[in-house]
Structure 1
Amino acid sequence: MHKIPKAFLISDLICFALLLVFLFLLPTKLFKSPTSFVIEASNGNLLSAAIASDGQWRFPVADSVPVKFKDCIIAFEDKRFYNHFGVDFLAMSRAMRQNIKAKGVVSGGSTLTMQVIRLSRKQDRTIWQKLYEILLAFRLEFRYAKDDIMGLYAANAPFGSNVVGLEAASWRYYGRNAKMLSWGEMATLAVLPNSPSLVHPGKNATRLIKKRNDLLDKLVRLKYIDQNTANLAKLEPIPGKPLPLPQNAPHLLNRFKAERLSLDINSTRITSTLNEDVQLKVNSILKRYNNRYRANDINNISALILDAKTGKVVSYVGNIYQPENVGLLSHVDMIKAPRSPGSTLKPLLYASMLNDGFILPHTLIPDVPTQIAGYSPQNYDLGYDGAISADKALSRSLNIPAVKMLQQYKYERFYDKLKKLGIGTLNQPADHYGLSLILGGSEVTMWDLANTYMGMVKTLNHFNAYKGLYDPNDYKQATYYRTEPKNEKDYQRNSFLDHGAIWATFNAMEEVMRPGDEGLWEQFSSSQRVAWKTGTSFGFRDAWAVGLTPNYVVCVWVGNADGEGRPGLVGIEAAAPVLFDIFRLLPNGKWFETPKTKLRKLKVCKQSGYKAGEYCSDVIDEWVPTAGEKTAICPFHKLIHLDRTGSYRVTDQCETVTSMQHKNWFILPPAMEYYYKIKNSDYKVLPPFMTGCENAGGNSVMELIYPKNNATVYIPLELDGTRGKIILNAAHRNQSSKIYWHIDNEYFATTNNYHQIAVSPPPGRHTLTLVDENGERLVQVFTVLDKENKRRN
């Protein structure tokens, strides 16, 4: 066996070591300079960009380099780019001869690959650095493809001032994408990395034009373009003052900057899902309305459009961008800002009650003066209907019926439902919000609100596709950047809201009269069907409108970012017109299919909207959500007994059974009846009892409208300093009947027809007794606060 000479071993080790050094010469990441954050529309066009943290306009490396730039830069810098391995020895020898002859540096002979190395290292240019760059250039050619090297050069070459890279230069100097530049424009940019100072406005224009024209002539000689194209390109002007970059989605850009790491996106550039045309038009619409609202010191407006078919963001305008006026707070992204939702949660309560079997679509809900534990909700119009169907209460956005519904459903249950549906701003316990939860007593973001409604739309859209099953992924948040679709399906038999409840809710939301249309829109076949809801927060601080179709969810907010309220800042007047202008931009489509297998045909009392009982006279068949079978029987229809003439109610104490007429009668409680009969002329009040008959029917004839039993009231001072009064209000089935009023067992007044009196009882607990002329009694208690207690409360 021959022994290997030691010299050979050493040489092999040296070669191996040199190979390792060569392999690991290049850092893992060649360029470490910060890059600009860039948002592109779905078509690849630039929407917004922000300058890099080092003050340079430097876009991330693009997926591809325009062919024109490749041709121009190869012709100008490195005509054998695709044929060498990082170093062009012919060019280097030629440069050396030229430099020796000129006794100075007149030509560098560097290839594009070598220039990429130099740009990445930023070292002083010495002979040793040059040799090291040659070695690195060889290594770079082994790691990257030629087009990748071209991409690195295009993204990192200097283009004058604080502009780095072809894309940033194209936008800064020509205001458009590099792929859209002409030969003259591209040739101008191609000569700048060699002499970046030539681009300064008003300086060196002649030299820049000459260098550009020389390059165009060279492109003709190399047969990249013909002479006519070159001649026309030479007539084009060179760039002047740098242009501002587009800012058509600045708030989404800032959102991306804040969320990039959590989204696990490495690049500072994303191709968003935004439709450029829609985004620009929505910006224009909001700008027009903002100009109008500014006259009333309403400074901010935002809008969000979601594609309910794909779950992607179509348009994202977080505010009207006015950086020149810092006081307007236009930088605040109102799509992410927690604000009071006003009435925009009411459809979610309506759907939840349908889903859980508490009501049917037309169930009558009380609408009377209400006080619950010191809380007194008021309708926007300050009036009362006595009783109103649930769907009409929703379409008219009445507050008192909404509070009555939440009281029945329980705010704790609704609080949990909202969290499951995606409302992520409920940071306090349910008791913190109480019944005010349904009137805007919490905070929501436009993002959560729009996504919740989109989840409902997607659920209903998928009724047939998923064969009546549900996919909880429907309630996942929308995405604003292009991602690979995931086909993860998790079909379930139950969901947060079933198809039938959602369908009925959208039908109720569609009934709202549109602003300016006076209800006539339904007569036009071309009008788009939209389910929608407005909201106004307490103190006129927030105006909302949210609308939906099977294809889109649109949400609009109008107000002041600092929370200042303004008169007239209400949803129907400020936000709804914007909503429908936006919907006019969007393509029309078919309405939701009726999910009949998730509906049941139920016999419903036409007057009350409840499930029909044995005493309901007018019964209709109605499609209702399946849980409607669990709802209560109509409590308002009862069997009454009349005398033979039908004029009086009777009992067996004053009329023989054989002489009685037995009739089904629609009977509302006295307080509801008091207001209901004013607006419903066909309502028939109960006939009075025949003289000598006792009220054995069990129906209360009187009800106190204000104050309610165990209520706490405060009596304020008048303007002159004297103690004011409270108005006691009662309802009697027989309006002409007299009521005798007693406080603490002392008589103080008699009323007839309109049972209202003004009193000023002292602070403390009082007993109020009402007695009618037939001896019927109603006894309740209330407490009057003194001034000190009021101050502490």
Structure 2
Amino acid sequence: MNKIPKAFLISDIVCVVLLLVFLFSLPAKLFKTPTSYVIEARNGNLLSAAIASDGQWRFPVADSVPVKFKDCIIAFEDKRFYHHFGVDLLAMGRAMKQNFRAKSVVSGGSTLSMQVIRLSRKQDRTIWQKLLEVILAVRLEIKYNKDEIIGLYAANAPFGSNVVGLEAASWRYYGRDAKTLSWGEMATLAVLPNSPSLVHPGKNSEKLIKKRNDLLDKLVKLKYIDQTTANLSKLEPVPGKPLPLPQNAPHLLNRFKAEQKNLDVNSTRITSTLDENIQIKVNAILKRYNNRYRANDINNISALILDVRSRQVVSYVGNIYQPENIDLQSHVDMIKALRSPGSTLKPFLYASMMNDGFILPHTLIADIPTQIAGYSPQNYDLGYDGAIAADKALSRSLNIPAVKMLQQYKYERFYDKLKKIGISTLNQPADHYGLSLILGGSEVTMWDLANTYMGMARTLNHFNTYKGLYNPNDYLQASYLKDSKKDETDLQRNSFLDHGAIWATFNAMEEVMRPGDEGLWEQFSSSQRIAWKTGTSFGFRDAWAVGLTPNYVVCVWVGNADGEGRPGLVGIEAAAPVMFDIFRLLPNGKWFETPATKLKKLKICRQSGYKAGEYCENVVEELVPPAGEKTAVCPYHKLIHLDKTGAYRVTDLCESVTQMQHKSWFILPPAMEYYYKIKNSDYKSLPPFKSGCDVSGGNSVMELIYPKNNATVYIPLELDGTRGKIVLNAAHRNPHAKIYWHLDNEYITTTTNFHQLAINPPPGKHTLTLVDESGERLVQVFTVLDKEKGKSP
């Protein structure tokens, strides 16, 4: 067997080694320089961009390069680009000859491929480096196709000052996307990388014009353009100083920066779901209102629009962008900020109580002075209705009925429901919030709030799609990435809120109006049916408005980022007008379909809104959520016994049964009745008992409105430093009755008709006794504190 000559073996090894060196000579990632964060609208247009961490405006490599730039740069730098393998031997030979004659480097003969290598390595220009560029350029041509190489060049070539890449240059010098540039504009940019330090906009404009015009002539010679186009292009002015880049979605840009890793996005550029036209118009609307509100030192405003059907963000304005005024804190993204939700959680309670069989849509809820563990909630108008239908309490955003409802539903249960449907900011135990949870005693973000309303709307939209089943993924958060993954379908028989409860809630939300000023909502009339809710936080720190249709959710917040409250910062006045102006930008659509199979016909007592009992005379049939069957029977309609005249109540101890009239009567407890009959003139109080009739065992005739039994009260100091008084308030069924007041078994005074009394008892426990003319007694206990306890907001 012949032995292989050693020389051949060594040469083979050398060849293999050289081949491996060649193959692995090109880095896996050619450019490691940081790039600008870039947000594009869903149509591909630039919305916002931020300078790269090294202080350069450098966009990530684009998917494509405009044809005009390709023609210009090939004509100017490398006319045989599509015909060589990375090295143009003819150009290199010509350059060597010119350099030899001039005894200096006057021509490089570099191809675009070689220039890409040079840009990626940033080494001194020596013969050795030139040789390496030749080798690496050939390797580049093996790994990338021609269009990809031009893309790398376009993204990384210097265009003067701190501008790198064609896209950044186009926006900085012309304020437009590179795809929209004319031949003259593109030729101007194409000549800049050749000598960016010597020739750039705003400097040496004559040299820049000459270079551009020379290139235009070359384009004519190469038949890329005709002479007329070239002549017209030469008349175009060259740009002056760089322009600022668009900042139409700066807060979403910052959000993307913070969430990039979690989104599993490798590039610093994303195409978002934002509608460019709507985003710009929303910015304009917010700026207009902001100019008005700043007169009242209300400095910040934000808005979020979600597309219900696609679960995508349509518009994201985290704040009015005013970087020139740092004091206004316009950099704070209020869509992500933790704020008090005011009354915006009330619809979730209303829906939850119907879903779980606690109330029906019009169930009467008590609206009377209330004290709970030293906390006395107040309605916005500081008035009381005595009793009000649950849907009207929601539409008027009354606080006391909401607290009464939560007291019945239990705040622990509501806390769990909120977390399940998407409120992620409840970081404290339920006891930390207590009943204040329904009045804004927690913190939410606009992002969570809007997404949770969207989840409800998506659930109702999918009633027919999913044939009455539920997809818990309807409550997933919206996406601002255009190419995000589609929702998975995981159909279930039950959900957090059923179709019927959501449908009834949206119906109630259609008539939201301000307490005490019911006509104000009419100025917000719209061609669209909109379910909406406003909210105002304690201390007038946050004004909210959130509205929805089957297609969109719009959420608006107005206030100060630093939390300063301002008079007039009220949801209905500050946020609602903005929300309705935004809705006018959005296309109309059909209203939600009635989920007929998820509603049941139930006989309802018209006066009380409860399930009709045997004594309810005015009964109507209504469609209610299925759990409505579990609700209580009307407790306010009772059978009473009257004498034959119908003027007096009687019992069998004072009247023959055969002489009695038996009649159904709508009877509210005295404290509710006291306020209810003021606003409901048709309410009929119970007739008095006939003289000589024993009233024992009858309905309660007196009730102490304030303070409640076992209440703890604090008596504040007046402005002059003297100790104030506590105002006692009682109700009696007989409007002309006299009440004799006793404190700690000592007689104080007598009241007639209007039963209020201001007293100044010492700290400690006290017994209050009320006696009427018939001898009816009411005894209750209350405690006066020595100093104020901490109060709930």
Match of 1:751 in 2: 751
Deviates more, 1:557-566 or 1:486-495: 486-495
Q: Secondary structure at the match of 2:406?
A: helix
The residue number in structure 2 matching 1:604 is 604
Question: 1:207 — aligned with what?
Answer: 207
5 Å-filtered alignment, 1:251-266, equals 251-266=251-266
* Structure 1 contact 273–312 (Cα < 8 Å) conserved: yes
Structure 2 SS opposite 1:260: helix
Give the whole-Å Cα distance in 2 for the aligned partners of 1:132 and 1:569.
68
Q: Describe how 1:368-447 pairs up with structure 2 within 5 A.
A: 368-447=368-447
Deviation at 1:709, TM superposition (A): 0.7
Q: For residues 462-611 of structure 1, what are the structure 2 equivalents within 5 Å?
A: 462-513=462-513, 518=520, 520=522, 527-611=527-611
CA distance in 1, matches of 2:313, 2:603: 42
After superposition, residues 54-203 of structure 1 pair within 5 angstroms as 54-203=54-203
Give yes or no for contact 2:273–2:482 (8 Å, CA) kept in 1.
yes
Amino acid at match of 1:22: F
Q: Do the aligned residues in 2 keep the contact of 1:304 with 1:555 (CA within 8 Å)?
A: yes
| CA 1:377–1:494: 2 relative to 1, 3 Å | same
**Structure 2 equivalent of residue 686 of structure 1:** 686
Contact 1:198 1:205 in 2 (8 A): no
Deviations 1:606-649 (A, max 9, x none): 00000001110100000001111111100101111111111111
CA distance in 2, matches of 1:470, 1:3: 79
Deviations 1:500-531 (A, max 9, x none): 00000000000124999855579x8x711110
Aligned counterparts of 2:583 and 2:402: Cα–Cα separation in 1: 28
How far residue 162 of structure 1 moved from its aligned partner, in angstroms, is 0.3
User: One-letter code of the match for 1:429?
Assistant: P
Task: Report the secondary structure of 2:674's partner residue.
Answer: helix
Letter in 1 for 2:772: D
Deviations 1:571-610 (A, max 9, x none): 0000000000000000011100000100000000000000
The Cα shift of 1:384 comes to 0.2
Corresponding residue number in structure 2 for 1:786: 786
> Offset of 1:3 from its aligned partner?
3.3
The alpha-carbon deviation at position 4 of structure 1 amounts to 2.9
Contact 2:192/2:200 (CA < 8 Å) preserved in 1? Answer: no
Q: Aligned residue pairs: how many? A: 791
Match of 2:231 in 1: 231
**Offset at 1:717?**
2.4
Query: Structure 1 residues 575 and 141 mapped into 2: Cα distance closer, same or farther (>3 Å)?
Result: same
What is the DSSP-based 3-state SS (H/G/I as helix, E as strand, rest coil) of the residue aligned with 1:622? strand
Match of 2:702 in 1: 702
- What amino acid sits opposite 1:541 in the alignment? R
Return the alpha-carbon distance in structure 2 between the equivalents of residues 274 and 654 of structure 1.
Answer: 78
Using the TM superposition, give the Cα deviation of residue 699 of structure 1 relative to its aligned residue in structure 2, in angstroms: 1.4
Between 1:575-584 and 1:478-487, the stretch displaced more is 478-487
- Match in the other structure for 1:619: 619
User: Are positions 1:734 and 2:752 aligned together?
Assistant: no
Moved >6 Å (runs of 4+): 514-517, 788-793
How far the C-alpha of 1:698 sits from its partner, in A, is 3.8
1:206 Cα deviation from its structure 2 partner? 1.1
The AA in structure 2 aligned to 1:304 is L
Q: What SS class does the counterpart of residue 229 from structure 2 fall into?
A: helix
CA–CA distance in 2 between the matches of 1:222 and 1:280?
42
Residue in structure 2 matched with residue 6 of structure 1 by the alignment: 6
- Structure 2 residue 219 is the aligned partner of structure 1 residue 219: yes
Match of 1:668 in 2: 668
- Give me the whole-angstrom Cα distance separating, in 2, the residues matched to 1:426 and 1:569: 25
Report if the CA contact (8 A) 2:199-2:207 is conserved: no
**What is residue 451 of structure 2 aligned with on the other side?**
451
Contact 2:159 2:200 (8 Å CA) reproduced: no
Distance 1:721 1:561 in 2: 36
- Tell me the secondary structure at the aligned position of residue 298 of structure 1: coil
Q: Which residue of 1 aligns with 2:651?
A: 651
**More deviation, 332-341/707-716:** 707-716
Q: Equivalent residue of 2:266, what SS? A: coil
Higher mean Cα deviation, 710-719 or 87-96? 710-719
The one-letter code of the counterpart of 2:33 is S
Contact 1:198–1:208, Cα closer than 8 Å, also in 2:
no
Assess, with a 3 A threshold, how the Cα gap between structure 1 residues 44 and 573 changes in structure 2: closer, same or farther.
same
Change (3 A) 1:199 1:556: farther
Distance in 1, Cα, partners of 2:523 & 2:239: 51
* Structure 2 residues without counterparts, runs of 5 or longer: none
Q: Which amino acid aligns with 1:669?
A: P
Asked if the contact 2:536/2:542 (under 8 Å) is kept, the reply is yes
Q: Deviations over 1:394-431 (max 9, x none)?
A: 00000000000000000000000110111111111111
Structure 2 SS opposite 1:685: coil
**Is the Cα contact below 8 Å between 2:38 and 2:50 reproduced in 1?**
yes
1:302 aligned to 2:308?
A: no
- Cα distance in 1, alignment partners of residues 279 and 473 from structure 2: 27
Q: 1:379 to 1:701 in 2, by over 3 A?
A: same
What residue number does 1:763 align with?
Answer: 763
Q: What secondary structure sits across from 1:641 in the alignment?
A: strand
Q: Distance in 2 between matches of 1:587 and 1:391?
A: 28
Give the conservation status (yes or no) of the 8 Å contact 1:521–1:527. Answer: no
Structure-2 change in CA distance of 1:189 and 1:201 (3 Å) = closer
TM-aligned CA deviation for residue 348 of structure 1: 0.6
User: 1:714 deviation in Å?
Assistant: 1.3
Whichever residue aligns with residue 250 of structure 1, its letter is P
Counterpart residue type for residue 290 of structure 1: N
Q: Which runs of 5+ in 1 are unaligned?
A: none
Residues 304, 317 of structure 1: 8 Å contact kept: yes
Letter in structure 1 aligned against 2:657: V
Aligned match of 2:352: 352
Amino acid at match of 2:176: R
- Paired with 1:575 and 1:791, the residues of 2 have a C-alpha distance of 28
The 1:691–1:520 alpha-carbon spacing in structure 2 relative to 1, beyond 3 Å, is: same
Structure-1 separation of matches of 2:163 and 2:717: 70
Q: Distance in 2 between matches of 1:156 and 1:257?
A: 22
3-state secondary structure, aligned to 1:731: strand
Contact 2:763 2:783 (8 Å CA) reproduced:
yes
Deviation, 1:484, is 4.3
More off after superposition, 779-788 vs 16-25: 779-788
SS at match of 1:454: helix
1:51 alignment counterpart = 51
The Cα shift of 1:697 comes to 4.7
Counterpart in 2 of 1:338?
338
3-state SS in 2 of match to 1:197: coil
Q: Where does 1:233-252 land on structure 2 (aligned, <5 Å)? A: 233-252=233-252
The whole-number CA distance in structure 2 between the counterparts of 1:717 and 1:319 is: 42
Partners of 2:574 and 2:111 in 1: how far apart? 61
Could you tell me how far apart the structure 2 residues matched to 1:134 and 1:643 are?
Answer: 116
Please tell me whether the aligned partners of residues 354 and 625 of structure 1 are also in contact (alpha carbons under 8 angstroms).
yes
1:19 counterpart residue number:
19
Cα distance in 2 for residues equivalent to 1:711 and 1:337: 37
1:420 aligned counterpart, secondary structure: helix
Cα shift readout 1:546-594 (whole Å, capped 9, x = no counterpart): 0000000000000000000000000000000000000000001110000
Equivalent position amino acid for 1:643 in 2 = D
Q: Distance in 2 between matches of 1:556 and 1:596?
A: 32
The 1-side partners of 2:450 and 2:187 are apart by 47
Moved more, 250-259 or 8-17: 8-17
User: Do the aligned residues in 1 keep the contact of 2:730 with 2:756 (CA within 8 Å)?
Assistant: yes
- C-alpha change, 1:490 and 1:617, in structure 2 (3 Å) is same
Rounded to whole Å, the distance in 2 between the matches of 1:790 and 1:458 is 42
SS at match of 1:305: strand
Residue type of the alignment partner of 1:162 = N
Q: CA RMSD in A?
A: 1.6
Which letter does structure 1 place at the counterpart of 2:169? A
Shift of 1:694: 1.6
3-state SS, counterpart of residue 769 of structure 2: strand
DSSP-derived class of the 1:563 partner: coil
Amino acid at match of 2:179: K
